[in-house]
């Protein structure tokens, strides 16, 4: 039987079409809300550190006590190369959020606590010397690289230990929670060196093991070893190995995982510092001039493999 046309609108069909339009629009909104924040977006995600900083007018910066010249304490004041970079980032955050003032709260961290604190929002940034690698990028975001280092070891000159093979059958100290431990263990197994690994909590504790003759060497990032040697009572007693246990790897500032909005602000600040040449003055201050409190000078010119990171800042994803 053919349906008769009445000239009246089909109310059911019209309602269905409107309902379908509303449902589609609602679905699109729901999908968009689940998408990650995109660079350039004006709105600040409510779970971003930027939202917390806006509400509290406070930013929490994680720092170390013994990572000269990157992050250390002098007369109860937190100083260092990474700290200076973070304070410049704070300026950018203040401008971006249009705040009159931001209170900086320094929070001490260690190799054991830095990742839990950044993950659980105990700190907003970690301003120290943390190596960026694939495993760590699974649990935190990293800024553009601000330094490049390699893993080497320090030993007393009197021992004649200078190459990796010289560590065979000896005790070698390392700091728990660092990538240097894994590199030492991997080298030990690969080369069958029969090294006894001695784990310590801090750089200073591990270095003292070598100074006191309780360990033959201490494995750590070469620039941190240079700082420990320079600040020791007898710097001429020590030597850093010629061979490295790793390829050069970059340091980055730790950012809470998944916080892409905050990461963009951080990298915007670093890009300006790097490409304007301001980084040259900051670098010279901490690597080519006397350092507080003892006035030691690392005399560490900017490595050639670091300069490209400043000329064309980019994320490190190797």
pLDDT in tens, 128-146: 999 999 999 999 999 999 9
- Alpha-carbon distance of 43 to 39, in angstroms, equals 10
pLDDT given for residue 133 in this prediction: 93
pLDDT given for residue 5 in this prediction: 37
| Structure tokens, 256 | 């809470």
pLDDT given for residue 262 in this prediction: 98
For residue 229, pLDDT over 80 is answered with yes
Radius of gyration of the chain (CA): 26
For residue 26, pLDDT over 70 is answered with no
- Name the residue ranges covered by the structural domains of the chain: 49-148+249-311, 151-240
**Same fold? 49-148+249-311, 151-240:** yes
Q: Model's pTM, two decimal places?
A: 0.83
pLDDT given for residue 179 in this prediction: 96
Average pLDDT over residues 263-277: 98
Domain 49-148+249-311 matching CATH 3.40.190.10: the answer reads: yes
Domain 151-240 matching CATH 2.102.10.10: the answer reads: no
- H or E segment to which residue 83 belongs: helix 81-97
Location of structure tokens 């961290």: 109
Q: How high does pLDDT run on average in the chain?
A: 89
Q: What confidence tier does 42 reach under pLDDT thresholds 50, 70, 90?
A: low
CA contacts within 13 A on the Cβ side of 176: 8
């Amino acid at each position: 039987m053919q349906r008769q046309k009445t000239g009246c609108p089909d109310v059911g069909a019209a309602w269905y079409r409107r309902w379908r339009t509303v449902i589609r629009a609602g679905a699109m909104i729901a999908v968009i809300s689940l998408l990650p924040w995109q660079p350039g977006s004006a709105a600040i995600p409510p779970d971003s550190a930027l939202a917390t900083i806006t509400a509290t007018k406070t930013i929490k910066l994680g720092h170390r006590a013994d990572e000269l010249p990157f992050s250390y304490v002098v007369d109860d004041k937190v100083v260092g190369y990474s700290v200076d970079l973070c304070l410049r980032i704070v300026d950018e955050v203040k401008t971006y959020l249009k705040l009159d003032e931001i209170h900086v709260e320094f929070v001490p961290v260690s190799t054991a606590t830095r990742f839990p604190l950044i993950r659980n929002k105990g700190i907003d940034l970690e301003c120290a010397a943390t190596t960026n690698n694939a495993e760590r990028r699974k649990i935190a975001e990293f800024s553009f690289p601000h330094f490049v280092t390699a893993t080497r070891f320090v030993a007393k000159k009197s021992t004649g230990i200078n190459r990796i093979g010289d560590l065979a059958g000896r005790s070698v100290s390392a700091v728990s929670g660092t990538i240097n431990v894994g590199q030492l263990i991997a080298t030990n197994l690969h080369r069958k060196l029969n090294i006894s690994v001695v784990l310590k909590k801090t750089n200073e504790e591990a270095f003292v093991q070598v100074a006191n003759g309780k360990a033959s060497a201490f494995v750590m990032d070469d620039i941190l070893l240079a700082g420990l040697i320079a600040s020791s009572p007898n710097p001429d007693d020590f030597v850093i190995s010629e061979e490295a246990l790793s390829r050069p790897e970059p340091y980055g500032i730790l950012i809470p995982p998944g916080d892409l909005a905050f990461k963009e602000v951080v990298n915007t600040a670093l890009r300006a510092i790097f490409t304007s040449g301001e980084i040259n003055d900051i670098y010279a201050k901490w690597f080519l001039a006397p350092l507080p409190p003892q006035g030691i000078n690392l005399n560490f010119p900017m490595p050639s493999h670091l300069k490209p990171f400043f000329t064309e800042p980019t994320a490190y994803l190797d």
